[in-house]
Amino acid sequence: MKTESELKELVKQKYSEIAEQSKTTNESSCCGSGCCSTEVYTIMSDEYTSLKGYNADADLGLGCGLPTEYAKIKQGDTVIDLGSGAGNDCFVARAVVGEKGKVIGIDFTEKMIEKARANVEKLGYNNVEFRFGDIEQIPVTANVADVVVSNCVLNLVPNKYNVLKEVYRVLKPGGHFSISDIVLQGQIPAELKQAAEMYAGCVSGAIQKEVYLETIAATGFKNIQLQKEKAIIIPDDILKNYLNEEQIAAYKNTTTAIYSITVYAEKPAEKEPCCAPGCCN
């Protein structure tokens, strides 16, 4: 069993490699047994090209949803994107917040930060910035963000509760998040859970859907809503790298399911000051 620090280092190494590749390379990298692992990262992605602000150079095909589409972002908002990668969700969010808003991307992979900063420089945006940092210790002061988004990233963090506590801290009272992630119903085979590549590809790092939602509630968030849910099917040419034919057949005959979900939740607003006689009794 790998430690939390070992799992984080695994993720950093894998996503450093992916940062060097284009979306096209990622999506076409499967070439037979033993070299399909990169496809794990792209089978869950949604189509971004129709969204305003989309930038092809920033799209590595690594997400599992469209959190910015559901995040109720408004003009002038401050938005934080956790695990911002090459900047795709940040640029989509920037198209909504406009010139008066601000977007901050956070990533702990140096090569992703470099790629994102190169993209923002080419685009000439002065209200989008990318900060290097661990999302368990978000490098942002408290009560800053109107909205937090994240796309298929919490799976990569062993301690999801710590991340959600940080999300709560950086949100303004009354602020909210919209997060896309991978969850499970039922137990996936141990071989997949133990596979390092599948962990970095967001699958074996997934937790049970019920536990995921309970963790959000445990950190103090209210009005938790499931905005979108879709089943994720892992192709046989990926499964065969981890399971034999008998195991694959058994896996398909179980009720185990892998889902991409987009979840919305709010940080409670501060209570209005009491001013009427007797109202605080």
* CATH code: domain of residue 200: 3.40.50.150
CA contacts within 13 A on the Cβ side of 124: 0
Which has more pLDDT, 168 or 279? 168
Cβ–Cβ contacts within 10 Å for residue 279, how many?
9
The answer to whether residue 277 sits within a structural domain is no
Enclosing domain of residue 13: 4-27+36-266
Cβ count within 10 A of residue 174: 11
Would 9 be classed as within a structural domain?
yes
Confidence of residue 71 (pLDDT cuts 50, 70, 90): very high
Is the residue at 278 inside a domain?
A: no
Q: What pLDDT, in 10s, does the model give residues 179-214? A: 999 898 988 887 777 665 565 566 767 889 999 999
Say if 274 falls within a structural domain.
no
* Domain-located, residue 168: yes
Q: Are 137 and 115 contacting, i.e. CB atoms less than 8 angstroms apart? A: no
CA dihedral defined by 40, 234, 154, 218, rounded to 10 degrees?
-170
Residue 96 has pLDDT above 70, yes or no: yes
Predicted pLDDT at 275: 53
Does any domain span residue 178?
yes
Q: What is the pLDDT of residues 20-60, one digit of tens each?
A: 765 555 444 332 233 344 455 556 667 777 788 988 888 87
Residue 276 lies in a domain: no
In total, how many domains does the chain have?
1
Reduced to 3 states, what is the DSSP secondary structure of residue 156? helix
Q: What percent of the chain has pLDDT over 90?
A: 50
User: pLDDT value at position 28?
Assistant: 40
Query: Does residue 151 form part of some domain?
Result: yes
